[in-house]
């Protein structure tokens, strides 16, 4: 029997988060909780397995806020700091469960993890550093517990970023181009999650309209936009502008799929 999945949006903001430090714009000053965005990450849960995609600078708080007591693995999209900076805090799971944390990343991201968290990969380790089990992935599918991941290579300007198809859910962040042979991996998704930074053109992220265009081509049952900047506008107002079946994600949103 096919198990049900849930996906929780731990953060839906861009690298600066919303509100952005020192910014007094209307969105950063908004009283709407949906306009408060931590850095982008999601939690995938099945009946038996829990996996996080990316460890943001907000990772510790995200785990505490969502009451995550066990984590079966961390899957990375790319090496930018807003997606890897919180990795050190997996040591809490190491300590409680007395086991290393499996990590899954492409070669470039794996190299950045080894560089930035060198102390966790050293031959001689200081007591209390994270215990990590790094797996380098490519385009081949892989499995964590009962979750099956199909990598999807997308472009973030010139950088390769890895999106993922997990059953009927597709998650893509930090992209501004998807080549045709990779686009075919999106078709048939029931849930599509895609970055939509702002309305104005950006050199390495989809605009809102570009993300809508991708979603209309894929034609999933539901689309959620994430990795959102304060420049996009108010959550409530932008949602009213979107086509049927599409909406902005917000921190804490949980979507279930059978």
DSSP tally for the chain: helices H, then strands E: 8, 14
Alpha-carbon distances, residue 147 vs 125, 165, 177, 246 (angstroms):
31, 10, 26, 25
The 8-class DSSP code of residue 126 comes to -
> Domain span at residue 197?
5-257
Q: What is the pTM of this model?
A: 0.97
Query: Among 165, 168, 142, 166, which Cα is nearest to 154's?
Result: 165
Q: What is the pLDDT along the chain (258 residues), one digit of tens a residue?
A: 456 899 999 999 999 999 999 999 999 999 999 999 999 999 999 999 999 999 999 999 999 999 999 999 999 999 999 999 999 999 999 999 999 999 999 999 999 999 999 999 999 999 999 999 999 999 999 999 999 999 999 999 999 999 999 999 999 999 999 999 999 999 999 999 999 999 999 999 999 999 999 999 999 999 999 999 999 999 999 999 999 999 999 999 999 998
Q: Do the Cβ atoms of 229 and 198 come closer than 8 Å? A: yes
The 8-class DSSP code of residue 96 comes to H
Q: Determine phi and psi for 15, rounding to 5 degrees.
A: -60, -25
Q: From CA 69, how far away is CA 78, in angstroms rounded?
A: 25
Q: Determine phi and psi for 37, rounding to 5 degrees.
A: -130, 120
CATH number at residue 230: 3.60.15.10
Q: Determine phi and psi for 115, rounding to 5 degrees.
A: -75, -50
pLDDT of the residue at 258? 83
pLDDT of the residue at 3? 64
Number of domains in the chain: 1
């Amino acid at each position: 029997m096919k198990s049900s999945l849930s996906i929780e949006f731990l953060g839906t903001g861009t690298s600066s988060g919303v509100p952005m430090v020192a910014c007094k714009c209307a969105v950063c000053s908004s009283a709407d909780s949906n306009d408060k965005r931590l850095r982008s990450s999601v939690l995938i849960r099945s009946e038996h397995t829990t996996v996080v995609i990316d460890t943001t600078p907000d990772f510790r708080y995200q785990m505490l806020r969502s009451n995550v007591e066990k984590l079966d693995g961390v899957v990375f999209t790319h090496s930018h700091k807003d997606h890897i900076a919180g990795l050190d805090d997996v040591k809490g799971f190491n300590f409680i469960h007395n086991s290393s944390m499996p990590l899954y990343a492409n070669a470039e991201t794996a190299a950045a993890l080894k560089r930035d968290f060198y102390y966790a990969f050293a031959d001689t380790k200081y007591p209390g550093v994270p215990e990590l089990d790094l797996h380098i992935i490519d385009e081949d599918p892989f499995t964590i517990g009962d979750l099956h991941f199909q990598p999807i290579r997308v472009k973030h300007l010139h950088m390769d970023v890895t999106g993922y198809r997990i059953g009927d859910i597709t998650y893509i962040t930090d992209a501004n181009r998807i080549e045709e042979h990779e686009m075919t991996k999106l078709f048939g998704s029931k849930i599509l999650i895609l970055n939509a930074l702002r309305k104005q053109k950006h050199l390495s992220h989809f605009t809102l309209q570009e993300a809508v265009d991708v979603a209309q081509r894929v034609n999933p049952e539901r689309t959620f936009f994430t990795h959102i900047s304060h420049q996009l506008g108010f959550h409530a107002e932008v949602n009213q502008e979107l086509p049927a079946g599409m909406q902005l994600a917000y921190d804490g949103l949980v979507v279930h799929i059978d």
